[in-house]
Chains A and B, each alone.
Chain A
Amino acid sequence: MSQQIRILIVDDEQVVRTSLEHWFREEGCVVDTAASGKEALTKLASADWDIFLIDIRMPGMDGIELQGRIRETHPDAVVIIMTAYASVDTAVQAMKQGAHDYITKPFDPETLEKMVRAAVEKRRLEKENQQLKRSLDELEQFSEIVGSSSAVREVLEKVQMVAATDSTVLVRGESGTGKELVARAIHAHSARRYMPIVVVNCGALPEGVLESELFGHEKGSFTGAQYRRKGKFEMADGGTLFLDEIGDVGPKTQMDLLRVLEEKAIYRVGGNTRIQVDFRTIAATNRDLEEAVREKSFREDLYYRLNVFTITIPPLRERREDIPVLAAHFLQKLARSMNRQLEGFAPEAMELLMERAWPGNVRELQNAIERAAVVRVRGLIQREDFPFADSAASREQMNGKSLSDLERVHIARVLEETGWNISQAARILEIDRVTLYNKMRKYGIERP
């Protein structure tokens, strides 16, 4: 909501004016306040106000009268009436006289945000600069799919082709090939790009948890459920739902998923209200779904529902011509972000990269280059900057050590190499930051 929405807050209570003023300033709005209807009228001409938030009960001119006066000069302004009393009568009166909405103090943050968002929607056409900004972000996102091979060109063509439609897409490829990147590129080029892309890692959650995660739950639906929670289906409404590791979901969730994809409606756990949801589905898997269907571990009907348009990303070992392009791309990005004069790769270093099988695919390559960039401050990346360059020496170091010894030593070494930058070390180690932090605590690894 960072476009300059202009809001005038009218309330006789100082604390309300201050709180609201503060809240809207964080939203990036231009805000002014008035302590009475009379003061508000003197401020009417000072700006082209978009929203008026008016307390209904004020000494002198009340909120309903003030609303009428505002309408004379600002017929298109959004007026939201506030009250400390949930009175249906006053609500009806205010709405009849043209109030846009009615809100009871204290507000639920979600309600206030929705009201303001609705008002902001009216200004959508004025948001040219914002759209330009987004287009640039999207280009950036697309530029992350890098490669010169015919396989990558084909992937990009398919992304472009399918993005404009609302089709379900199945992205296939080994772990680390960039399936989520492809999903994000499709979303960023679709008509749904102004709404969120919601990622669900289906493989990471046990079936019961996944159900609650996807569907949400109603207040009181189980012991301790004191609040209603929206699930990922609802959060993706209007946008894209990316179901990662779809091949790993259990039989019950498969059945639930199929129903939602067919009916585009859900019931929260413990709820009996049907909620319509509208999202585009992109699923991804590294499993052989056809085999899973034959083995009856994956529902055939769900398979056909998901397999509408397929994009397959080949493993890096099958498109080695992309390795130099990808390596140069990652190095350039890292050099920029780390502010280092890294000029490229020595021939022996590139030879090593070209020879490697890359079982972890592009992600593994990216991490290897990040690590090399950490070790090499300037000049050309050398062969010895990669940890897999001298496997005999590494094997020697590993002799007689337990798995946890190796983990501790490896974590400490990577942290040292990255100058104790947890984000960077976590990327290289391919674990998330919280996991790395927990391991540091477990092994007592501390910055010297």
Chain B
Amino acid sequence: MRNVLLVPVGAVDAPLVEYLSLMVGEALGCATHIAAEALSPDRALDPRRRQYYSTEILAMLERAHPPHVGQVLGVAEVDLFIPILTFVFGEAQLGGRVALLSLARLRSSYYGEDEDPDLLYRRAEKEAIHELGHTLGLVHCDDYGCVMRFSSSVEEVDIKGDRFCPNCATRLETADRGYDR
């Protein structure tokens, strides 16, 4: 049985993390837990960009949580980047153990619109499952109905599906069989 540990990165709305924990568990068919202690993202701050380097946070998450805890999903409020991109919604180790998502650009208020908590939950659910999908070896999918579809903007997060398409689900099942052996 696979395990996923959700780790708040900085101060994050607790009910949202709990919701993600429930949904990740159902979507991936795994046990989930929420870390008692949050991880501070401060060391990953790039003062010039005023954003946080997500690859650095992934490394911090990996160091803080040994392999026996299973897959790790960091949930951050802060805005993330990797050096070549203006921002990322999240990052994951492909076929690895650690993933991270940022709520900053999933919030409607970021775009000057009224805050919509339900929409934020739905967006965060998609991105959490997407990033964890990468840790399970899934790459981006062409199917607009699949949660593994790449989103370069929040509009694209909204139009993609919230679960795996049949092809990605099959790949995941195959990976799971390998995992269980």
> Taking the complex as formed, is B35 at the interface, i.e. its CB lies under 8 A from any CB of chain A?
no
> Taking the complex as formed, is B69 at the interface, i.e. its CB lies under 8 A from any CB of chain A?
no
Closest chain B residue to A53 by CB distance? B84
A117 to chain B, nearest CB (A): 10
CA distance A435 to B156 in the complex (A): 22
From B94, B109, B144, B153, give the contact of A110 (CB < 8 A).
Answer: B153
A1 touches B140 (CB 8 A): yes
A108 touches B144 (CB 8 A): no
- Which of A2, A422, A441 has most chain B Cβ within 10 Å? A2
> Taking the complex as formed, is B97 at the interface, i.e. its CB lies under 8 A from any CB of chain A?
no
B148 to chain A, nearest CB (A): 9
> Taking the complex as formed, is A399 at the interface, i.e. its CB lies under 8 A from any CB of chain B?
no
From A28, A109, A227, give the contact of B110 (CB < 8 A).
Answer: A227
Bits for B42-59, please: 1 = Cβ < 8 Å to A, else 0: 000000000000010000
B84 touches A225 (CB 8 A): no
Q: List chain A residues, Cβ under 8 A from B22.
A: 422, 437
Bits for A66-109, please: 1 = Cβ < 8 Å to B, else 0: 00000000000000000000000000000000000000011111
B84 touches A20 (CB 8 A): yes
A423 touches B84 (CB 8 A): no
- Which of B23, B82, B122, B134 has most chain A Cβ within 10 Å? B82
B94 to chain A, nearest CB (A): 5
> Taking the complex as formed, is A197 at the interface, i.e. its CB lies under 8 A from any CB of chain B?
yes
> Taking the complex as formed, is B31 at the interface, i.e. its CB lies under 8 A from any CB of chain A?
no
B158 to chain A, nearest CB (A): 8
> Taking the complex as formed, is B180 at the interface, i.e. its CB lies under 8 A from any CB of chain A?
no
CA distance A20 to B85 in the complex (A): 9
B121 touches A437 (CB 8 A): yes
A112 touches B26 (CB 8 A): no
CA distance A422 to B88 in the complex (A): 29
CA distance A212 to B155 in the complex (A): 12
Closest chain B residue to A422 by CB distance? B22
From A2, A107, A197, A235, give the contact of B86 (CB < 8 A).
Answer: A107
Sort A-B residue pairs by CB-CB distance and give the 3 closest, nearest first: A28-B139, A225-B112, A224-B112
**Number of A interface residues in the complex (CB < 8 A):** 55
**Which residues of A from 171 to 208 have beta carbons under 8 Å from B?**
195-198
**Which residues of B from 11 to 28 have beta carbons under 8 Å from A?**
15, 19, 22-23, 26
A23 touches B153 (CB 8 A): no
Q: List chain A residues, Cβ under 8 A from B159.
A: 196, 198, 235
> Taking the complex as formed, is B179 at the interface, i.e. its CB lies under 8 A from any CB of chain A?
no
B97 to chain A, nearest CB (A): 15
B156 touches A235 (CB 8 A): yes
Q: List chain B residues, Cβ under 8 A from A22.
A: 55, 82, 91, 94
> Taking the complex as formed, is B165 at the interface, i.e. its CB lies under 8 A from any CB of chain A?
yes
B165 touches A19 (CB 8 A): no
Q: List chain B residues, Cβ under 8 A from A195.
A: 144
Bits for B89-101, please: 1 = Cβ < 8 Å to A, else 0: 0011010000000
B83 touches A106 (CB 8 A): yes
Chain B interface bracket (under 10, 10 to 19, 20 to 34, 35 or more): 35 or more
B23 touches A433 (CB 8 A): yes
Q: Can you report 25 residue pairs joining A to B where beta carbons are below 8 Å apart?
A: A19-B85, A20-B84, A22-B82, A26-B134, A26-B140, A27-B139, A27-B150, A28-B139, A28-B140, A112-B152, A134-B143, A137-B143, A196-B159, A197-B144, A216-B155, A222-B112, A223-B112, A224-B112, A225-B111, A226-B112, A229-B154, A230-B153, A230-B155, A234-B155, A437-B19
CA distance A229 to B114 in the complex (A): 14
On A, residues with C-beta under 8 Å from B are 1-2, 15-16, 18-20, 22-23, 25-28, 105-110, 112-113, 130, 133-134, 136-137, 140, 195-198, 212, 216-217, 222-227, 229-231, 234-235, 421-423, 432-435, 437-438, 441
From A212, A230, A421, give the contact of B113 (CB < 8 A).
Answer: A212
CA distance A2 to B121 in the complex (A): 28
Q: List chain B residues, Cβ under 8 A from A19.
A: 55, 82-85
From B88, B144, B153, give the contact of A196 (CB < 8 A).
Answer: B144
From B84, B140, B153, give the contact of A107 (CB < 8 A).
Answer: B84
Q: List chain A residues, Cβ under 8 A from B153.
A: 109-110, 230
B118 touches A110 (CB 8 A): no
A106 touches B84 (CB 8 A): yes
From B81, B92, B118, give the contact of A26 (CB < 8 A).
Answer: B92
CA distance A421 to B109 in the complex (A): 31
B166 touches A23 (CB 8 A): no
A441 touches B83 (CB 8 A): no
A19 to chain B, nearest CB (A): 4
Q: List chain A residues, Cβ under 8 A from B94.
A: 22, 25-26
- Which of B55, B85, B118, B134 has most chain A Cβ within 10 Å? B85
> Taking the complex as formed, is B5 at the interface, i.e. its CB lies under 8 A from any CB of chain A?
no
